[in-house]
Amino acid sequence: MPKTQDHSDQGLEDKQLTESSMSKNPRIQRYLVAIEYIGTRFFGSQQQPNCRTVVGVLEEAFHKFIGQPVSIFCSSRTDAGVHALSNVCHVDVERISKRKPGEVLPPHEPSVVRRAVNHFLQNEGDISVIDVRCVPNDFHARYKAQERTYFYRLVSGPEPLTTFEKERTWHVQENLDLYAMQEACKVLVGYHDFSSFRASGCQANSPIRTLDELHVCEVPATPYFPSTTEREQSNSSSNDSHLCSVKPEVELPVNSFSNTDDVIDSNNGKNNLEEFGVRRRHRCYVVTARARSFLYHQVRLLVGVLKCAGTGELTTSDVARILDAKTVTAASPMAPACGLYLGRVKYDLPLS
């Protein structure tokens, strides 16, 4: 799998990149572009020779739109197989008339850029532009980022992974103890030397990071469809004229996330979960990690430890020991790329 660097400090090379990406031409408009993509068929976000990458596909779409090559700079570098709900990049565009070569026209409106680039991306099927904004020419998508949020999806249970979830989540066959994972999060959140969660090849100058949030919760598996019981409860609530909101009278337990219709076995009074043609759902968990920046593979290494805490392979004391060891060899196996999503990149954007 091709290796990409994370969005940590990279020294002189990155300073040179920053300077080279600052447009000094007043006729050029810099756009901040937010994109979403399914990472399965990408060999990471950064441009690589003879590989399909996020930046490569996006640069090609812009080239088709404006008729000249562009360079795109991402806020966050994602590995092969990693997805993005919102990654952000910047691009400089000089609008040249196609009818009168050499004539410079006023910059396109952001809405025009979004529609046009998505037009040229539509055949890709796994990437699209979700937002565009004009920014000053010294605004850098990577170095102006104040905060990044990643999500990691895990599903647990012995059932084979559903087709809808393949390459979109990590399937753990063992049951996961949510409370144990939450306790492990408390050990890891905050200001630490994260050398134990820093993959070899990381080029950050320092392993010190502040992890502002590390959280795990159970969520409905997707795609979610209501069972017979849930539909009946919803209908009952909506038909009750004195209720102000459509809320079930009986709260569903968190482990009832299932698309199986509740069939009662008359012999023992238990739910019959073996109804033909109906799949029993897995339990689904989401880990949220939020910080200004992350080390190379830090989130996936953190999730690997949290999973082991959930299965009982590690105790909270073991997690603290791994953190204190300050060597990646002490950590649990890294979580696979397929469950990782870049969720949001936060900026203090200038007023439009």
Q: Which amino acid would we find at residue 169?
A: T
What single-letter DSSP state applies at residue 264?
Answer: B
Q: Which amino acid would we find at residue 129?
A: V
How deeply is 142 buried, as exposed, middle or buried, from its count of CB atoms within 10 A (0-12, 13-18, 19+)?
Answer: buried
How far is residue 116's CA from residue 94's CA, in Å, rounded to a whole number?
Answer: 15
Instruction: Give the bridge partners for 91, in sequence order.
Output: 31, 72
- The full 3-state SS of 119-153, as one line of letters, equals HHHCCCCCEEEEEEEEECCCCCCCCCCCEEEEEEE
Show contacts of 313-318: CB within 8 Å, 24+ apart. 314/184, 316/180, 316/183, 316/184, 316/186, 316/187
Instruction: Give the bridge partners for 155, in sequence order.
Output: 171, 284
Task: Indicate which residue of 6, 9, 79, 92 is catalytic.
Answer: 79
Altogether, the residues listed in the chain come to a count of 352
How far is residue 35's CA from residue 124's CA, in Å, rounded to a whole number?
Answer: 13
Cβ-based neighbours of 75, under 8 Å, separated by 6 or more: 7, 87, 88, 89, 141, 142, 145, 148, 345
Strand stretches in the chain, DSSP E: 29-37, 72-74, 83-93, 127-135, 147-156, 170-172, 190-193, 208-219, 283-291, 340-346
- Does the active-site annotation cover 79? yes
- SS3 state of residue 233: helix
Instruction: Give the bridge partners for 345, in sequence order.
Output: 148
CA 30 to chain CA centroid, Å, is 25
Q: Which residues are catalytic?
A: 79
